[in-house]
């Protein structure tokens, strides 16, 4: 099944290594410490759908009116808000603590994200989300913040080619080259012209990475290939929005079976 609107998981990139499958295939994997995450809040399209005990919230309405119980209004969409990685209460704002209190927490979470869902989520604030959300999932999308490259030239940032090292080239080996056209035909430098500048530290999603292994006891995901960001960086993992890829081993088996059938 494909679907973008399912509950995912937050995690930390542990690092890369390689593992051997039973047939001896060596697979490069990124290990992700995923969850367990705490459900901090749920968003419901209509107010009536909010779970029992979460339909109203105590609000401080100022000096005159004091604290009152206000019914929760509709959010207009379905989502589950989950938090990952504990943050001590002393470094949380009171608003944060108050929010987390509804999930039965007396501390903060360093990474908080919402995952949209297609239908009204069954999770309640305070529930735990673990790698079991990926039961039966073969491929995932992983979002993270890429490593910072600082101020980078056009070759690194945009994949421009180098200029000749010799043949009379003078001091123009890694420069970007021309910017536009001249005279009457010119409209100045074209908009969006690729130039040197800050590169990295941006949100990047790698789609359709094979989920090689899930270690439920230690909350670890083994994902084939690389994942954006440095080790210990935060990542979001969700079921892939793309169609599932035919896994290489399965493809081989399929081909072998087809060849046999031909015989």
Partner 1 sequence: MNILRQLELEHMKTTIPDFGIGDSVDVHYLIKEGDKERVQLFAGTVISLQGGGTRRSATVRRLVSGEGVERTFPLHSPRVADIKVRERGTIRRAKLYYLREREGKATRLNPNLGRLQYPRSGKGSGLQKPEAPAAE
Does residue 135 belong to the site contacting partner 1 (CB under 8 A)? no
What is the separation of C-alpha 141 from the centre of its chain, rounded to a whole number of angstroms? 7
CB neighbour class for 254 (10 Å; exposed up to 12, middle 13-18, buried from 19): exposed
Tokens coding 115: 């995952």
Residue 253 engages partner 1 in binding (rule: CB under 8 A): no
CA 229 to chain centre: 11
Query: Binding partner 1 by CB under 8 A: which of 9, 10, 31, 206?
Result: 31
**Segment lying near partner 1 (by CB under 8 A), choices 78-86, 97-105, 156-164, 213-221:** 213-221
**Using CA atoms, how far apart are residues 174 and 41, in angstroms rounded to an integer?**
51
Burial per residue of 214-231, b for 16 or more beta-carbon CB atoms within 10 angstroms, e otherwise: beeeebbbbbbeebbbee
217 binds partner 1 (CB under 8 A): yes
**Residue 201 or 216: which CB sits closer to partner 1?**
216
Find, among 20, 21, 17, the residue nearest to 32 by Cα: 17
Under the binding rule (CB under 8 A), the answer on residue 68 touching partner 1 is no
Alpha helix segments (H runs only) across 55-123: 62-65, 94-101
Residue 15 engages partner 1 in binding (rule: CB under 8 A)? yes
Please report whether residue 260 would count as binding partner 1 according to CB under 8 A. no
Rounded Cα distance, 55 and 38, in Å: 19
Binders of partner 1: how many residues, by CB under 8 A?
17
Question: Least distance to partner 1 from the beta carbon of 98, Å?
Answer: 33
For partner 1, which is the closer residue by CB, 32 or 39?
A: 32
Residue closer to partner 1, measured from CB, 201 or 256: 256
Q: Examine residue 19 and tell whether it contacts partner 1 (CB under 8 A).
A: yes
User: Least distance in Å: CB of 222 to partner 1?
Assistant: 9
Task: Kindly list the residues in this chain that would bind partner 1 in the complex (CB under 8 A).
Answer: 14-15, 17-20, 22-24, 26, 31, 33, 215-218, 220
């Amino acid at each position: 099944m494909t679907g973008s609107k399912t509950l995912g998981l937050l995690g930390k990139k542990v690092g890369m290594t390689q593992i051997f499958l039973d047939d001896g295939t060596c697979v490069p994997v990124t290990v992700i410490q995923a969850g367990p995450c705490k459900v901090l809040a749920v968003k419901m399209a209509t107010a009536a759908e909010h779970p029992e005990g979460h339909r109203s919230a105590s609000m401080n309405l100022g000096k005159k009116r004091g604290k009152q119980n206000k019914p929760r209004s509709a959010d207009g969409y379905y989502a589950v808000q989950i938090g990952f990685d504990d943050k001590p209460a002393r470094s949380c704002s009171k608003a944060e603590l108050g929010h987390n209190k509804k999930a039965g927490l007396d501390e903060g979470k360093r990474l908080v994200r919402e995952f949209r869902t297609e239908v009204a989520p069954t999770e309640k604030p305070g529930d735990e989300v673990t790698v079991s959300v990926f039961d039966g999932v073969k491929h995932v999308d992983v979002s993270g913040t890429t490593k910072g490259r600082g101020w980078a030239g056009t070759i690194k940032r945009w994949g421009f080619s180098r200029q000749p090292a010799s043949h009379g080239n003078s001091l123009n080996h890694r420069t970007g080259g021309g910017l536009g056209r001249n005279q009457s035909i010119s409209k100045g430098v074209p908009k969006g012209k690729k130039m040197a500048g800050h590169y990295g530290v941006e949100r990047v999603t790698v789609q359709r990475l094979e989920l090689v292994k899930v270690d439920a006891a230690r909350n670890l995901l083994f994902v084939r290939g690389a994942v954006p960001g440095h080790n210990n960086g935060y990542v979001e993992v969700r079921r892939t929005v793309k169609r599932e890829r035919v896994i290489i081993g399965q493809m081989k088996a399929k081909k072998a079976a087809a060849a046999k059938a031909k015989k």
